[in-house]
Amino acid sequence: MGLPVKEQVKYWGIATAILVFLLYFLGNVILPFVLGGAVAYMLDPVADRLERAGFSRAASVGVISIGATILFVIAALLIIPVLIQQTASLFNFIGTSVDTAPTVLRDLDKWLTDTFPALAQNDITLSGSLKNVAATVQSKGGDFLNGVLSSAMSLINVIVLLVVVPVVAVYLLYDWDNMVAQIDSLLPRDHLSQIRGIATEIDKTLASFIRGQGTVCLILGIFYAVGLMVVGLQFGLVAGAIAGLLTFIPYVGALVGGLLSIGLALFQFWNSVEVIDGATTTFATDWLRIGIVAVIFGVGQFLEGNFLTPKLVGSSVGLHPVWLIFALSVFGTLFGFVGMLVAVPVAAVIGVVARHAIRSYKNGRLYRGFSDTE
């Protein structure tokens, strides 16, 4: 005879409280293990495919490790230094480019002050506001970047990121199927089929979102970065990386990356073309390049909405964008960077459990009463 529902709720509540306690107080300690587990989870389907192709589990993990090492070395030598350099230059660019802002801003400023004289009386101007924002970004942005770089490049963090995380990921990937089998053997026998059903739905949701959306982010990030650099945008790699990273929140990546890229294009390509007419030299705006920047993000959105997301993510993920933003905000505030990492998986788990609870509620007496009709 199984335990009463009241006792089960008590024990599962205690287990959940312990898990939250450990996550809150051991956030920095468990960070490499969370990262390693996430990497192993994402690469497990690749290892399974290699096994079906005839490789052993050890050989599959070896092939994946070699491939990942090669990609990491290429990124470390070619991409990461350029990305850091462009990010640092971007903060300075924002602060120093305000005085040379496009004429359209000054024209808009004049129109606002002529239309609304109260703005001029209170010294409220678009250019002034822009200068204040730029000064803040330049002063705070440099401090933020220096703090991030000094923290990330410290010896302990380098060891954690470059040694501990890959080692944990390799061991977890090698033993992934055994760990799943061991966890399955510990499930309560009375609820085995129910828990397996929920776990399968959770895995499907996580696989669809994390693996699928992660692939979409990578593809779009590369597409945006390469396209913007080909156009000649000065900070195209940074803008493309930002757009790619934020793509996991629908529409946010394209909106933020598009506005950032078009704004940078306006500063860079406004009055950038020399037009020589006899003894007179004037400057013209390179509308073609500015338009191409906008087209790049339009094409990216078309590819994402019509090809990438339907094929790689699917339509049955069940994670609403607002729920994702809320989860990221709450877990990031409570648990810091570790909370940001586990926010999406936990949100997916809560969503699956909530849908299961709703189905159970609608099939139960509390909802249906004693009537046999719907």
Domain boundaries, the chain: 1-186
| The pLDDT of residue 41 is above 80 | yes
The percent of residues above 70 in pLDDT, for the chain, comes to 67
Q: What confidence category does residue 299 fall into, taking pLDDT thresholds of 50, 70 and 90?
A: very high
15 is written with which tokens? 């287990």
Residue 232 scores a pLDDT above 70? yes
Higher-confidence residue of 133 and 115: namely 115
For 154-167, what is the mean pLDDT?
68
- Whether 147 and 91 have beta carbons less than 8 Å apart is answered as no
> CA angle at residue 160 from 156 to 161, to 5 degrees?
120
Residue the block writes with tokens 């699928």 = 212
Please say if the pLDDT value at position 207 is more than 60: yes
Q: Contact at 8 Å (CB) between 262 and 298?
A: no
pLDDT at 126: 47
Helix intervals (H) in 175-269: 176-185, 192-206, 212-231, 236-245, 252-269
- Lowest-confidence range among 264-268, 330-334, 336-340? 336-340
More confident residue, 156 or 223: 223
**pLDDT of the residue at 5:** 65
> What does pTM read for this prediction?
0.63
Kind and range of the H or E element at 282?
Answer: strand 280-284
Per-residue pLDDT at 50: 92
User: Tens digits of per-residue pLDDT, 174-188?
Assistant: 999 899 899 888 888
pLDDT of residue 322 exceeding 60: yes
What does the pLDDT average to over 261-288?
71
**Band (64; pLDDT cuts 50, 70, 90):** very high
The lowest-confidence range among 47-51, 162-166, 220-224 is: 162-166
Tell me the C-alpha to C-alpha distance, in Å, between residue 210 and each of 41, 80, 236, 247, 351.
10, 23, 26, 12, 15
pLDDT at residue 146, rounded to an integer: 53
104 or 212, which is more confident: 212
Handedness of CA 127, 130, 132, 134 (dihedral sign): negative
Residue 98 pLDDT greater than 60, yes or no: no
Q: What is the mean pLDDT of residues 281-296?
A: 81
